[in-house]
């Protein structure tokens, strides 16, 4: 095996590919050679450019040099500890880890990827889990309605959970028109290239009586919270899924009290009602294999790890053109 490599953020705004030492797997661990890792565009650039206020959970969790630069990958089991029985050498698995060519990780933190699903498509499992938290908390259900603010990668997962759940009206609002075709192909019944404020009249036409009963904010933009609360229908619910680095800038509206509105935050780490990582993985894989959760068109850019500086520069300068960005680690593996 050649020297393992990983993408790190040594300083604010800087990206490097560096070699590192990989330990031997313990009894309950596996060593995995990464095939692909998928960038979590919003979270990773927030960390890279330190776009968060002091004393927030971002500030508590991340500092430089930052080694936790990614959160989802697919790879091949190369070695396993003596107590690992559920995986075989050569088996393909999904796991949550930073961008790196190899990883030693607990077998319990891995999920088997079906042979019928491509490694590129399986990489979306991590962001699908993040979006599932909002789908479960809402809850998304047969005949339901939802207004999704934002059409980035996590929002695309929301759209697909909504369609898989049998939601009747799935409305997406995002100023970037280039993102909307992905939402439509994923099941959105309406998609508007506008801010939530600009889309207000059209939203009123879709919900002419009471306004939307459910809005999910996937953006991480602190200004959206106030806007969404002003649009919600009476007794409606706002789900905060986009994780802002500036929560002190999120403000209420007078409608919270007068209309009896609810606000609920959802996060990738919220294991609720038995829905842990592996259970969500299995559901995502099952739906994807059956064609009920289509992610085949969402990877728009592919880079080799050596191009990591260019990859983050592209996201920073042309974010609206990027939906899914993956690193291909197989040349080294």
Q: Which among 130, 129, 126, 128 has a CA at the least distance from the CA of 97?
A: 126
- Tell me the torsion sign for CA atoms 297, 298, 301, 304: negative
170 within some domain? yes
**256 and 132 in one domain?**
yes
Range(s) of the domain holding residue 50:
5-124+298-328
Return the pLDDT at 305.
97
- Candidates 198, 68, 124, 205; CA nearest to 190 is 205
Find the mean pLDDT for residues 100-125.
97
Domain co-membership, 136 together with 261 = yes
Residue 333 has pLDDT above 60, yes or no: no
Short-list 46, 41, 157, CA closest to 99:
41
Is residue 214 domain-shared with residue 304, that is, in the same domain?
Answer: no
Tell me the pLDDT tens digit for each residue of 281-327. Answer: 999 999 999 999 999 999 999 999 999 999 999 999 999 999 999 99
**Do 118 and 10 belong to one domain?**
yes
**pLDDT reported for residue 201:** 86
Domain count along the chain:
2
Q: Identify which has the larger pLDDT, 51 or 201.
A: 51
pLDDT given at position 210 = 86
Do residues 138 and 261 share a domain?
yes
**pLDDT (0 to 100) of residue 1:** 63
The pLDDT value recorded for residue 22 is: 96
Average pLDDT for 167-174 = 97
Would you place residue 328 in the very low, low, confident or very high pLDDT band (cuts 50, 70, 90)? very high
Query: Does some domain include residue 280?
Result: no
> Per residue in 119-166, pLDDT tens?
999 999 999 999 999 999 999 999 999 999 999 999 999 999 999 999
User: Is residue 332 scored above 80 in pLDDT?
Assistant: no
Which long-range contacts does 17-22 make (Cβ < 8 Å, 24+ apart)? 17/305, 17/306, 17/308, 20/100, 22/102, 22/103, 22/104
CATH of residue 68's domain is: 3.90.180.10
Contacts of 223 (CB under 8 A, 6+ apart): 249
Instruction: Indicate whether 88 pLDDT > 60.
Output: yes
pLDDT band at 184 (very low <50, low <70, confident <90, very high): very high
**What residue ranges in 133-267 does DSSP mark as E strands?**
145-149, 169-174, 190-193, 214-217, 237-240, 262-265
Q: What is the pLDDT of residues 205-218, one digit of tens each?
A: 999 888 999 999 99
Residue 152 counted as domain residue = yes
Give percent of the chain with pLDDT exceeding 70: 99
pLDDT averaged over the chain? 96
247 occurs within a structural domain: yes
Q: What is the mean pLDDT of residues 161-172?
A: 98
Q: What is the mean pLDDT of residues 111-122?
A: 97
88 in any annotated domain: yes
Q: If you search the block for the tokens 């200004």, which residue do you land on?
A: 223
Q: Do residues 151 and 118 both lie within one domain?
A: no
Q: Are residues 138 and 250 in the same domain?
A: yes
CA gap 171, 283 in Å, rounded = 24
pLDDT of residue 188: 98
């Amino acid at each position: 095996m050649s020297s393992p490599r990983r993408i790190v953020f040594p300083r604010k705004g800087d990206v490097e590919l560096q070699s590192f030492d990989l330990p031997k797997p313990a009894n309950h661990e596996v060593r995995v050679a990464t095939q692909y890792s998928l960038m979590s565009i919003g979270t990773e650039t927030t960390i890279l450019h330190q776009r968060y206020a002091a004393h927030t959970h971002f500030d508590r969790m991340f500092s430089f040099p930052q080694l936790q630069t990614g959160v989802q990958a697919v790879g091949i089991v190369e070695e396993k500890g003596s107590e690992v029985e559920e995986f075989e050498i050569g088996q393909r698995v999904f796991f949550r880890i930073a961008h790196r060519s190899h990883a030693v990780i607990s077998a319990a933190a891995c999920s088997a990827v079906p042979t019928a699903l491509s490694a590129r498509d399986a990489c979306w499992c991590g962001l699908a889990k993040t979006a599932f938290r909002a789908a479960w908390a809402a809850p998304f259900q047969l005949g339901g309605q939802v207004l999704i603010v934002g059409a980035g990668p996590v929002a695309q997962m929301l759209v697909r959970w909504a369609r898989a759940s049998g939601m009747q009206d799935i409305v997406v609002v995002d100023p970037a028109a280039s993102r909307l075709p992905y939402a439509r192909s994923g099941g959105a019944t309406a998609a508007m290239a506008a801010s939530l404020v600009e889309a207000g009249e059209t939203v009123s036409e879709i919900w002419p009586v009471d306004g939307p009963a459910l809005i999910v904010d996937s953006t991480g933009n602190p200004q959206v919270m106030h806007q969404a609360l002003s649009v919600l229908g009476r007794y409606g619910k706002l789900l905060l899924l986009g994780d802002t680095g500036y929560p002190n800038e999120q403000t209420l509206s007078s409608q919270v009290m007068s209309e009896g509105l609810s606000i609920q935050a959802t996060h990738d780490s919220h294991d609720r009602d038995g829905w842990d990582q592996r259970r969500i993985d299995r559901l995502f894989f099952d739906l994807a294999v059956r064609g009920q959760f289509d992610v085949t068109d969402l990877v728009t850019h592919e880079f080799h790890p050596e191009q990591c500086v260019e990859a983050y520069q592209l996201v920073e300068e042309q974010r609206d053109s990027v939906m899914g960005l993956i690193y291909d680690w197989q040349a080294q593996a």
